[in-house]
Amino acid sequence: MADQLESALFELGREVQFPPTPDVSAPVRRRVTDRTRSVRRWSRVLVPLAAVLVAALLVTGVLAHWPTARDAIAERLGLHGVQVTQVRGLPTATATLDLGQAITLEDAQRRVTYPIQLPAALGAPDVVYFLDLPVGGQVVLAYEPNGDRPRLVLYEFEGSRVGLGKGLSPGTSVEEVSVNGNRGLWINGDPHVVFFVDARGRPQSETTRLAANVLLWENNRLTLRLEGQLARDHAVAIAASTH
């Protein structure tokens, strides 16, 4: 009976007429090449735009904390999607960020349009999370403590599409570093707050939280943020191994 039914189903299947398959190869090819080009094109515009935004914040904020000239600061903080500002008091923040449910790296990759970058120095992450915020999605790779290495969290998002705000108290220092020739920022000292801003620049309060030492850097389309109780050089070495 099973065989008879199954062969009837196979035969029926051969008779089912699906709609004609549309040829999507040309539009797909155009979209994947256009996007690569448009990212390159936009990055040339967005670097100065981001720099202007940061400069404005610093001028209206506490320029006194930055002894260098306005142009130099803008140049120095030109990271995609990141605003850094120094504040006198920190807003209320939750100690931890709710990262939602853990998923596999493969599932995370399917949810974002950019290739997830992995730090060769750390190997495969212990846990992977995906967050809808900011726009374009954020992949979070978590590494449990291992020997001398503390717990680390690596956040990846498309810096050209979002804003990441960081509020620094006067006890927090910011230092420029180089990661494989790309500009990076090393933020350490007192805890600082991290939050994302929406398309209109409004901070999303639920994302506000205290952060430990952080290295921020750019790699291709992505802005990456490595967080944990690391020394600067160790953090830079891990960042440099990320591709």
Q: Which two tokens stand for residue 136?
A: 């374009």
Could you tell me if 194 and 94 are in contact, meaning their C-beta atoms sit under 8 angstroms apart?
A: no
Nearer to other proteins, 15 or 148 (CB): 15
**How far apart are CB 219 and other proteins at their closest, in Å?**
13
Q: How far is CA 199 from the centre of its chain?
A: 16
Q: Is 87 exposed, middle or buried (0-12, 13-18, 19+ CB in 10 A)?
A: middle
87-106 footprint of other proteins as x/- string (CB under 8 A): ------------------xx
Q: Which two tokens stand for residue 47?
A: 């670097």
**How far apart are CB 130 and other proteins at their closest, in Å?**
13
CA end-to-end span of the chain: 56
Nearer to other proteins, 5 or 95 (CB): 5
Determine the length of the chain. Answer: 243
Candidates 60-68, 109-117, 156-164, 203-211: pick the segment binding other proteins (CB under 8 A).
109-117
1, 64, 95, 124: which one binds other proteins (CB under 8 A): 1
Residues 4-63 that bind other proteins (CB under 8 A): 5-6, 8-19, 21-29, 31-33, 35-36
DSSP state of 87: -
Nearer to other proteins, 108 or 179 (CB): 108
Nearer to other proteins, 97 or 162 (CB): 162
**Amino acid (one-letter) located at 228:** G
Peptide bond just before 27 cis, omega within 30 deg:
no
**How far apart are CB 84 and other proteins at their closest, in Å?**
29
Could you tell me if 240 and 182 are in contact, meaning their C-beta atoms sit under 8 angstroms apart?
A: no
Residues 113-152 that bind other proteins (CB under 8 A): 113-116
Residues 148-207 that bind other proteins (CB under 8 A): none
Pairing of strands 163-168, 82-86: parallel
64 is an interface residue for other proteins by CB under 8 A: no
Could you tell me if 136 and 112 are in contact, meaning their C-beta atoms sit under 8 angstroms apart?
A: yes
Q: Which residues would be at the binding site for other proteins (CB under 8 A)? A: 1-2, 5-6, 8-19, 21-29, 31-33, 35-36, 105-106, 109-110, 112-116
